[in-house]
Amino acid sequence: MARHGGRGWHGRVFAAAVGVTAVAAATSAWTAQAGPFSGHAGAGASAHASSPAAGAGRAPVAVSIVHASDKGARGVNITIDDGPDPVWTPQVLQVLKDNGVKATFCMVGTQAEAHPDLVKAVVAAGHRLCDHTVSHDTTMDKKPDSYQSKEILDAAGMITKASGGVRPMYYRAPGGAFTPYSRHLAASQGMRPLGWNVDSKDFERPGIAAIIATVKGEVPNGPTILFHDAGGDRSQTVAALREILPWLKQQGYSFGFPVR
Ligand SMILES: [Zn+2]
């Protein structure tokens, strides 16, 4: 997809990956976040984050970019970006189910809006939602705060509406294009900024073996691993996950969610 066409954004990927890891103090908010959003879902609703009536469903979380797993030192976080997609998301869900793995899906707002059934399927399977903006602009860190705000809050509304009221628990900037402003905004909405440590490079379709080798080689770097379920033919991703997930288990890793 054109928005991923350039390789330049991978530089920012690294910048995001090496961000400070901090443990969220607000761990007690997890269950509240996972529950149905009882407020008025929709893009406009998100603008009132700071009002006292915002409620526990959007209790603030830490603003730093998280990489840690709630499963501790031998935990890994599987993260799946850019969907949902009618062809690939069901296949990814099946692989995860076959391996008993829960993952975090970073969804693009327009994709969520177009495929609410898939968003609901992701939630029903016990996975978590992450806001990946409306239009996946990897240069949004160069744009005005007002633009960043709209991209993030509108996507949160679209994802929440599509899910039937379950709010995204994380925010991942496209290409890692975080700004201090966007991190604070997301955190104020209960969405922990989410980085990654291992880019499987699956988006570039380097071949199944290459994807597997990248993950195996880089998983010592940190627990959060990046895959994609949209943006083109993801058959390599699906095939690679079929091998990687059992391998990780054999290595003694357990599968968790990013710390909030
Ligand atoms: Zn993305």
% of the chain at pLDDT higher than 90: 77
Q: What is the DSSP string of 198-217?
A: EE--GGG---HHHHHHHHHH
* pLDDT given at position 27: 32
pLDDT at 189 over 90: yes
Tell me, yes or no, whether 250 lies in a domain. yes
Report d(CA 219, CA 215) in Å as an integer. Answer: 6
Tokens describing residue 187: 């955190």
Tokens describing residue 145: 């705060």
* pLDDT given at position 57: 64
Banded model confidence at residue 12, pLDDT cuts 50, 70, 90: very low
Tell me, yes or no, whether 108 lies in a domain. yes
Residue 193 and residue 156 in contact, taking contact as beta carbons nearer than 8 Å? no
pLDDT at 40 over 80: no
Tokens describing residue 235: 């058959």
Give 46's Cβ-side CA count (13 Å radius): 26
Question: Per this entry, what is the length of the chain?
Answer: 260
Using DSSP's 3-state secondary structure scheme, residue 1 falls into: coil
Q: How many CB atoms lie within 10 A of CB 2?
A: 6
Chain centroid to Cα 245, Å, comes to 18
* 220 vs 24: which has the higher pLDDT: 220
Contacts of 136 (CB under 8 A, 6+ apart): 3, 82, 108, 174
Contacts of 103 (CB under 8 A, 6+ apart): 77, 78, 79, 80, 96, 127, 128, 255
pLDDT at 206 over 80: yes
Using DSSP's 3-state secondary structure scheme, residue 86 falls into: coil
CA geometry: angle 78, 81, 82, nearest 5 deg: 165
Tokens describing residue 238: 């699906």
CATH number of domain containing 141:
3.20.20.370
Threshold 0.85, pTM exceeds: no
Tell me, yes or no, whether 180 lies in a domain. yes
Q: How many domains does one find in the chain?
A: 1
Tell me, yes or no, whether 23 lies in a domain. no
Task: Identify the residue whose tokens are 């994609």.
Answer: 228
pLDDT at 91 over 60: yes
Tell me, yes or no, whether 12 lies in a domain. no
Residue 78 and residue 100 in contact, taking contact as beta carbons nearer than 8 Å? no
Tokens describing residue 175: 């290409």
Tell me, yes or no, whether 41 lies in a domain. no
Catalytic annotation, residues = 81, 228
* pLDDT given at position 207: 98
Mind listing the pLDDT tens digit for each residue in 103-162? 999 999 999 999 999 999 999 999 999 999 999 999 999 999 999 999 999 999 999 999
- 200 CA distance to ligand 1 middle (Å): 13
pLDDT at 193 over 80: yes
Banded model confidence at residue 245, pLDDT cuts 50, 70, 90: very high
Tell me, yes or no, whether 22 lies in a domain. no
Tokens describing residue 141: 């860190």
Average pLDDT across the chain, whole number: 84
Report d(CA 120, CA 164) in Å as an integer. Answer: 7
- 136 CA distance to ligand 1 middle (Å): 6
Residue 19 CA: distances (Å) to CA of 83, 184, 260: 25, 15, 15
Banded model confidence at residue 58, pLDDT cuts 50, 70, 90: confident
- 108 CA distance to ligand 1 middle (Å): 8
Residue 81's domain comprises 64-256
Tell me, yes or no, whether 135 lies in a domain. yes
- 46 CA distance to ligand 1 middle (Å): 22
